[in-house]
Chain A
Amino acid sequence: MIPDPPLAVLAELTHRCPLQCPYCSNPLELERAAGEMTTNEWRDAIRQAGALGCLQIHFSGGEPTVRPDLEILVAEAVATGLYTNLITSGVLCDRARLERLASAGLEHVQLSFQGATSDIGDRIGGHVGGHEKKLLFARHVRETGLPLTANFVVHRQNLHQLDAMIEMAVEIGAERAEIANVQYYGWALQNRAALMPSRAQLDIMIAQVSAARERLKGVMAIDFVTPDYYARRPKACMGGWGRRFLNISPSGKVLPCHAAESITTLAFDDVRERPLADIWLHSPAFQAFRGTDWMPEPCRACDRKEIDWGGCRCQAFAISGDAAQTDPACALSKDHDRLVSTATEEAHSGGDGFVYRNFRSAKLAPTL
């Protein structure tokens, strides 16, 4: 069976970032600047993504505005017909730069916040003064006329500010807010005991999000990602492995999702060495969990197998040690009870200290 072309590409231009969020989705082994693709290598990858059928491109990192050639890459994406999105911390991009990006054809900005106030936000992001810079950047985005989404990653140490975060998103003129619970791979898995919310917090958050959605109808849309450790059925991770999405790492590795490198039993192709279309269609890493043929029981007989596509492969690998197992977030997984008891225990007795995400910790971090 020939897979459909992907809908979106996530271009992780760099792992360099002034923030040190302890749940960063980058791998534990961060890529140094010297290993990043050149401008022309990225331009070629972007053209290939457009030709392959991608409709949207998300420029991310690390912090993508670290790259001085971001304008050139945005322009390349626009010329290719891709709809462009910038996912940024907002702390490095001044107004003039933002205007250059808008002139290059940028269509949408997603700005991350770590909390609703400077004390919480700056501590979690590990960047003093960051929260204030974000608020200024948000104002510049609105003044430039670009649509703004406010991104909030939520966890035990900032959930008490959830209502305030939603209010802040409205105040800065966001047309969308993404409220996403931490997903536990890589750095977040290292920090799980410091981040895991309690079930009581989960109930409160669901009530707050539902109330806010009702209250803000027509003002701001809210996307919500639940904490899957407390779920009965897994999330449809990436809409299915190799079905809609591909990710290109700073050094050109092509991944089915941004956390896929945590599955150490897979090898990933380099877009500089093999055509992107060939990687998408034929590479072993993309074929490994595509469709439903790879599934074990109870997934194989499950009537939800083409709804959740077996959940998350990275989570299966992280928890059970086998990426082809049922996602432990599913109540039908043999590892589910262990997952839930770990979460409950960590939510109540875990400390609040973080292993911050930076190049120093990247060397110290044990491999799980």
Chain B
Amino acid sequence: MTGHLALTSVPRLAPHRRLRRDEQRGLWTVQAPERYFILDDTAHAILSRCDGKDSVAVIIESLCSSFPDAPRDTIAADVIHLLQGLADKGVIAA
């Protein structure tokens, strides 16, 4: 179903997956059929940039400008790892 994510892939939330702020618990979540995912700050920073317009490479660029203290290689590795995991779970499509 989901192949390997490339730098040129353009990720977006899969249909009927919703990025939601859970005000009660002070968390960001993704709601999906019969499951939900709690996002940490890193996951939220990445997933909130998956708008179906920007490629993985552009998302990495954007994160590098927002977090200038973090090494680019670390950011790139985190982004690929997280998005591939979410693609495997059906949370994002690319």
Contact = CB atoms under 8 A, between A and B. Distances in A.
B33 A85 contact: yes
A272 interface: no
Contacts of A147: 15-16, 33
Nearest to B90: A175
Contacts of A83: 18, 20, 31-32, 36
Interface in B79-94: 88, 90
A172 interface: no
Interface in A339-360: none
Contact of A107 (B2, B24, B33, B88): B33
Interface in A7-52: 7, 52
Interface string B1-21: 110000000000001101010
A81 B1 CA distance: 30
B94 to A, nearest CB: 14
Nearest to A6: B24
B34 A149 contact: yes
Contact of A108 (B20, B33, B88): B33
Interface residues of B, number: 17
A146 B18 CA distance: 13
B12 to A, nearest CB: 15
B20 A55 contact: yes
A179 B60 CA distance: 41
Nearest to A217: B1
A176 interface: yes
A55 B29 contact: yes
Contacts of B31: 55-56, 83, 107
Given A218-B1, A218-B2, A145 B24 contact: no
A52 B25 CA distance: 11
Interface residues of A, number: 22
A148 to B, nearest CB: 9
B61 interface: no
A53 interface: yes
Contacts of A56: 31, 36
A291 interface: no
Contacts of B36: 7, 55-56, 83
B9 to A, nearest CB: 17
A284 B9 CA distance: 53
A312 B24 CA distance: 28
A108 B25 contact: no
A173 interface: no
Contact of A5 (B1, B20, B25): B25
Interface in A136-154: 145-147, 149
Contacts of A107: 16, 18, 31, 33
A56 B2 CA distance: 26
A219 interface: yes
A108 to B, nearest CB: 4
Interface string B34-61: 1010000000000000000000000000
B26 to A, nearest CB: 11
5 contacts: A147-B33, A149-B33, A218-B1, A218-B88, A221-B90
Interface of A: 5, 7, 52-53, 55-56, 81, 83, 85, 107-108, 110, 145-147, 149, 175-176, 218-219, 221, 223
Given A83-B31, A145-B15, 18 more contacts: A7-B36, A53-B24, A53-B25, A55-B20, A55-B22, A55-B36, A56-B31, A56-B36, A81-B20, A83-B32, A85-B33, A85-B34, A108-B33, A108-B34, A147-B15, A147-B33, A149-B33, A218-B88
